[in-house]
Amino acid sequence: MENEKIIVGLDIGTTKICAIVGRKNEFGKLEVLGMGKAESEGVIKGIVTNIDKTVVAIEKAIKEASDMSGIDIRVVNVGIAGQHIKSSIHHGSITRLSTDDEISIEDINRLTDDMHRIVIPPGSEIIHVMPQDYTVDYEEGIKDPVGMSGIKLEADFHIITAQTSAINNINKCVRRGNLDIEDLILEPLASSLAVLSEEEKEAGVCLIDIGGGTTDIAIFYDSIIRHTAVIPFGGNIVTTDIQQGLQVMNKQAEQLKTRFGKAISEEASPNEIVSIPGIRNRTAKEISVKNLSNIIQARMEEIIEMAHTEIINSGFENRLAGGIVITGGGALLSNLKQLVEYMTGMDARIGYPNEHLGKSKLDSIKSPMYATAVGLVLSGFRSLDERKDRWEDQVRQHQKVPVKAKKTNPASDFFTSIIQKTKGILIDDLGDKNEY
């Protein structure tokens, strides 16, 4: 049963490694059974750089999630991100044998499978093949061709590739943690499952997921993923700027950012001062919140500008009625929504992963910083492309259709009964002969 299906999402991030255990409740909402997290020391900008440290963090996060949920975790859905992620559009086509029967899900799968065999740069692997619009016998702009009649089936595909070495490092870390990978999913796609509504995806929306090491972009229009990108800057670069600009320690810089930082410096009071304890009996250091916010705003403007450039390059800038949804740990920065709206001229909101969440033991799970981990769990219950769910439902319903009883022919029934009676007489005769 669907209710008994339990999925584990493992988010291997730059700042934290998080494991979430979840299942669907009777209302179809995600119920979080357990969560574990550990500080990530072996990941830089979304790429595993130290396997041993990453394995230790994975084991810690998995143990916490396992103890809280009471479930022995063996299989996980893992997210992948990093500057090495590339996306491109490719065109594919197949020719069907006849027009007598309609286009089936098998035809769609055959066309999609063909795209897995395209030539890609050496050292890369395809992680997602996502169909855009289909073309049937040169009729373009078809969203769902199943059930149509036609010989030539074509489609544009959004293909996402990742570095083979980055994939192998993730596989090694997960295997050394005594786990198996069920699915490897691009992190912004996972986040989109957690924070975007179906209406937003249909109207057109851009997701900006600001993580520790990277900022991930995903653009949807007409309920289809249209563009993805990874910007190699995130919350950690802001912390580094504060550390260097104000000459404080890294942990102090992180605390200053999260507790007093603002994305718009004009919102900070020029008279507000924060006192930081000195190192080794040195005098305390006084930090101006206005200066702190100036440093934060300068870097956030750069990140937003790069994200806006990706929106323009996608060609969907003027078609995003749903505006921008900001999520990830960086979305918690004060006044960020207003800065995004001011710089892009588009409506924005902060994306909380409570769109599909039911009751859970933890309220903290509703923070934007857990959007990717929640999305990785949801990906075990939902497809990244809603059409796939619909097609699979059609297949299941088709399999449940009872087989119709064959119509009987009275004449054939008459001859069948005569043959059976004749066989019976012959067997009786043989039996009588054997008695003699």
pLDDT score recorded for residue 285: 87
Is there a contact between 209 and 230 (Cβ–Cβ < 8 Å)? no
Which residues does 191 contact at the CB level (< 8 Å), separation at least 6? 207, 209, 216, 218, 327, 328, 351, 353, 371, 372, 375
Confidence class of residue 98 from pLDDT cuts 50, 70 and 90? confident
Is there a contact between 139 and 126 (Cβ–Cβ < 8 Å)? no
pLDDT score recorded for residue 405: 40
Please state, in angstroms and rounded to a whole number, the distance separating the CA atoms of residues 231 and 124.
19
Got the DSSP string for 304-343?
HHHHHHHHHHHT-GGG-TT-EEEESGGGGSBTHHHHHHHH
Burial state string for 322-332 with b = 16 or more CB within 10 A and e = fewer than 16: bbbbbbbbbbb
Is 429 a residue whose pLDDT tops 60?
no
Q: Which of 185-189, 268-272, 312-316 has the lowest mean pLDDT?
A: 268-272
Of all helices (H) and strands (E), which one includes residue 240? helix 235-246
Q: What is the pLDDT of residues 196-254, one digit of tens each?
A: 999 999 999 999 999 999 999 999 999 999 999 999 999 999 999 999 999 999 999 99
pLDDT score recorded for residue 22: 92
pLDDT score recorded for residue 156: 94
Is 407 a residue whose pLDDT tops 80?
no
CA angle 193/191/144 to nearest 5° reads: 40
Neighbouring C-beta atoms of residue 286, cutoff 10 Å: 9
pTM for this model (two decimals): 0.85
Instruction: Read off the DSSP letter of residue 5.
Output: -
Is there a contact between 54 and 12 (Cβ–Cβ < 8 Å)? yes
Q: Which residue has the higher pLDDT, 432 or 54?
A: 54
CATH number of 86-162: 3.30.1490.110
Average pLDDT over residues 103-116: 91
Got the DSSP string for 359-404?
--S-SGGGSGGGHHHHHHHHTTTS-SSHHHHHHHHHHHHHHHSPPP
pLDDT score recorded for residue 400: 52
Q: Is residue 149 packed enough to be buried (19+ CB in 10 Å), middle (13-18) or exposed (0-12)? A: middle
pLDDT score recorded for residue 89: 92
Burial state string for 252-278 with b = 16 or more CB within 10 A and e = fewer than 16: bbbbbbeebbbbbbeebeeeeebebee
Q: What is the pLDDT of residues 297-310, one digit of tens each?
A: 999 999 999 999 99
pLDDT score recorded for residue 436: 33
Q: What is the pLDDT of residues 378-395, one digit of tens each?
A: 999 888 877 887 777 777
Which superfamily does 202-354 belong to? ATPase, nucleotide binding domain (3.30.420.40)
Domain spans of the chain, in order of start = 86-162, 202-354
Please state, in angstroms and rounded to a whole number, the distance separating the CA atoms of residues 106 and 153.
12
SS3 57: helix
pLDDT score recorded for residue 231: 93
What mean pLDDT value characterizes the chain? 87
pLDDT score recorded for residue 297: 96
